[in-house]
Structure 1
Amino acid sequence: MAKPRKQKNEEQKADNSEAVVKHQKLCLSIDLEKRRIYGYTELEVVVPENGIVGLHADNLMIESVMVDGGPARFEIFPHYQQMDSDDRWCSVSSANSAADAAGSVYVSCLERELVPNLLIMCSSEVVKPVPKQPEQTGQENGTQISSESKQVTVVTESTYVSINMLCWVQNVKLIHIDFWVEKIETGIHIEKDVMHTNNQIRRARCWFPCMDDSSQRCCFDLEFTVANNLVAASTGTLMYQVLSNDDPPRKTYVYRISVPVAAQWISLAVAPFEIFPDRHNNLITHICLLANSSKLQNTVGFLHSAYSHYEHYLSTKFPFGSYTQVFIDPEMAVSSLSLGASMSIFSSQILFDEKIIDQTIDTRIKLAYGLARQWFGVYITAEAANDEWLLDGLAWFLTDSFIKQFLGNNEARYRRYK
């Protein structure tokens, strides 16, 4: 059963021990031929009182860090250091005890992943403007009298609280990090002229420095520079494209996501894609490789119906403004569905041509479920990992309503009890 959200008391509200990301910009240059990914990221961060900002960065080479335009000291250490676990294995005497020991090691690894491994030293000085107090000539029963205006002002406890809140200013710093991906082995995958990311838990840190925590949500500006013959599809709304004067020319795709999301929901796919805007809804885009273009056009024609049905059923607009489906070869796909904010990456194995009938319903349900997860799973997230089942259930409930509406009650019952 999902646990109710705990109410924060006053002490918790006043806690300023952790940094908070207000906005992040990510600029990457991608060279698939040389398997190189490099660039920089800029984060607007509320610095905690101790002046240290902790980020996650695995398999990354950090070249330099600047804070508000000046060089800053930083330390980075790997998460996957060898851990002495001999004591845990000494007690192994049976299959059950071996499973317990292995589980203990696995949980310890997960706990270590939660700890930031890129520590940046920032100044913690905060300028707190204090309003000038008028000269007072007398005070009686909580009443202050100005000697110049002779006006009487009643000062209550709430007035003092408001003044204190106005005096407090967040210590926001701009952190600039130059980096490149040292090992392309997890979180991001390259095969020939195709590259894509996946949303496996805590893997965004493997291709850009971030606060890889589901509780840290912010808006993103994204820029990806690729070869002229490639397309970079990513999270958010495509703002514009820029063609460089380099030889050979390169193209930069600029995206923006104005809805705060966690870093794990930033997705990217780069390949010589073909782009097909939806014929019925200009907010939906379908992308695939050239070899699958005919199958894609035959497969996705229904999606605008699911999109409209979900908005009507929930009485709310799609949370991210636009939606993009990307289909890659099954040999490249890590899973059948990889979610990102406003974007889903599917295996092209679910596409079918006009001669195929048996696969139609299964594919439509999978695509409709991927769309439903944008509401329940990406936009609405679980406070704890133990509550993820609830969002998955709500997404399937929404998908079930689509099945009833467009495929009939019998099909819905069959799928439910299959």
Structure 2
Amino acid sequence: KEKTADNVRPFKLVHQILSLTGISFERKSIIGFVELTIVPVKETLKIIRLNCRQCRIYRVILNDSYEATFHYFDPFLDICQDNKTKSLEVFSKCHLEMAKKTDPDNNAGELVIVVPEQATHLIGEGRGLRIGIEFSLEDPSGGVHFVIPEGEGTMEERAAHMFTYGHENSSRLWFPCVDSYAEPCTWKLEFTVDKNMTAVSCGELVEVVMTPDLRRKTYHYTVSVPVSAPNIALAVGP
């Protein structure tokens, strides 16, 4: 598709923090926070489009100071709802059309963030802007798989574990991001798990810190060589 002013991404992603503070095997859920540092390529940036599916978004804040309104839509939810159109041929055609509507390389996405009027002074060509997003994920149907063996004992004793998986557009299924190989950046990764669990992810393990109640611990990873969101993975287990 030919690039125009409307489908060229109006910013450069330079860094992202991914922090998962609550991973529950009982509920098959995740509570997390991401912070994307972007550099606008023009001073007229008013709309920021990111990728995010099957997550619940609670809050979007710019530079820790200005709350931004946001809109979320997942066009894949409307594929072939009519029984008369439930065929593989129709599904394939509709799926391709829906994918184009959220293609990050065409400046599209499921999560649309509106820069508030009082925060327009933060936007400047070449100036960094931090976008913080609070989110959760419960009983995911893709992107993350929870394995909980039946039996007695704790989750650790039953060897419960979880891992991320999928194709090149699956990172959006477990955290907000620019889900494209064309937008690499450096990363800071933080995963808080029960004290008897281990979190394995990308990059260099910097430290493991116990929480004040000594019931959980946080694994801190850094990725100093720019990589894209589809390259980020996580596995948690005893």
Return the TM-score normalized by structure 2: 0.79
Q: What is the match of residue 34 of structure 2?
A: 41
Q: Within 2, Cα distance between the matches of 1:31 and 1:85?
A: 32
Q: Within 2, Cα distance between the matches of 1:85 and 1:225?
A: 39
Query: Does residue 19 of structure 1 match 2:11?
Result: yes
Q: What is the match of residue 77 of structure 2?
A: 81
Query: Does residue 111 of structure 1 match 2:67?
Result: no
Q: Within 1, Cα distance between the matches of 2:18 and 2:133?
A: 10
CA 230–106 in structure 1, closer or farther in 2 if over 3 Å, else same:
same
Alignment counterpart, residue 182 of structure 1, candidates 121, 135, 138: 138
Q: Within 2, Cα distance between the matches of 1:85 and 1:207?
A: 25
Mapping for residues 4-153 of structure 1, pairs under 5 Å? 17-29=9-21, 30-47=23-40, 49-69=44-64, 70-83=66-79, 101-114=90-103, 115-122=108-115, 123-125=119-121
Q: Which amino acid aligns with 1:230?
A: M
Q: Within 2, Cα distance between the matches of 1:85 and 1:32?
A: 32
Q: Within 2, Cα distance between the matches of 1:180 and 1:189?
A: 15
Query: 1:184 Cα shift?
Result: 1.4
For the residue of structure 2 that corresponds to 1:25, the secondary structure is strand
Q: Pick the structure with greater CA Rg.
A: 1
Query: 1:198 Cα shift?
Result: 1.0
Q: What is the match of residue 195 of structure 2?
A: 228
CA 104–229 in structure 1, closer or farther in 2 if over 3 Å, else same:
same
8 Å contact from structure 1 (residues 199, 264) kept in 2: no
Q: What is the match of residue 375 of structure 1?
A: none
8 Å contact from structure 2 (residues 48, 112) kept in 1: yes
Mapping for residues 303-322 of structure 1, pairs under 5 Å? none
CA deviation profile, 1:358-398 (whole Å, cap 9, x unmatched)? xxxxxxxxxxxxxxxxxxxxxxxxxxxxxxxxxxxxxxxxx
Provide the alpha-carbon RMSD of the alignment.
2.8
Query: 1:182 Cα shift?
Result: 3.3
Structure number with the higher helix fraction is 1
Give unmatched runs, 5+ long, in structure 2. 149-159
CA 60–127 in structure 1, closer or farther in 2 if over 3 Å, else same:
closer
Q: What is the match of residue 379 of structure 1?
A: none
CA 258–108 in structure 1, closer or farther in 2 if over 3 Å, else same:
same
8 Å contact from structure 1 (residues 230, 271) kept in 2: yes
Q: Which amino acid aligns with 2:209?
A: V
Return the TM-score normalized by structure 1: 0.46
Query: 1:83 Cα shift?
Result: 4.7
Q: What is the match of residue 203 of structure 1?
A: 170
Name the stretch that deviates more: 17-26 or 203-212. 17-26
For the residue of structure 2 that corresponds to 1:106, the secondary structure is helix
Q: State the aligned residue count.
A: 212
CA deviation profile, 1:324-363 (whole Å, cap 9, x unmatched)? xxxxxxxxxxxxxxxxxxxxxxxxxxxxxxxxxxxxxxxx
CA deviation profile, 1:119-174 (whole Å, cap 9, x unmatched)? 1122444687xxxxxxxxxxxxxxxxxxxxxxxxxxxxxxxxxxxxxxxx414211
8 Å contact from structure 1 (residues 17, 50) kept in 2: no
Structure number with the bigger relative contact order (C-alpha 8 A, sep ≥ 6) is 2
Alignment counterpart, residue 213 of structure 1, candidates 180, 190, 205: 180
Structure number with the higher strand fraction is 2
Q: What is the match of residue 252 of structure 1?
A: 218
Query: 1:81 Cα shift?
Result: 3.5
Q: Which amino acid aligns with 1:208?
A: F
8 Å contact from structure 1 (residues 203, 264) kept in 2: yes
Give unmatched runs, 5+ long, in structure 1. 1-7, 90-97, 129-168, 273-418
Q: Which amino acid aligns with 2:29?
A: R
CA 72–109 in structure 1, closer or farther in 2 if over 3 Å, else same:
closer
CA deviation profile, 1:297-335 (whole Å, cap 9, x unmatched)? xxxxxxxxxxxxxxxxxxxxxxxxxxxxxxxxxxxxxxx
Query: 1:100 Cα shift?
Result: 5.2
- Between the aligned residues of both structures, percent identity stands at 30
Q: Within 2, Cα distance between the matches of 1:234 and 1:118?
A: 25
8 Å contact from structure 1 (residues 60, 208) kept in 2: yes
Q: Which amino acid aligns with 2:77?
A: Q
Q: Within 1, Cα distance between the matches of 2:20 and 2:9?
A: 31
CA 109–226 in structure 1, closer or farther in 2 if over 3 Å, else same:
same
Query: 1:230 Cα shift?
Result: 0.6
Q: Within 1, Cα distance between the matches of 2:88 and 2:20?
A: 42
8 Å contact from structure 1 (residues 58, 79) kept in 2: no
CA 108–208 in structure 1, closer or farther in 2 if over 3 Å, else same:
same
CA 183–56 in structure 1, closer or farther in 2 if over 3 Å, else same:
farther
Q: What is the match of residue 126 of structure 2?
A: 170
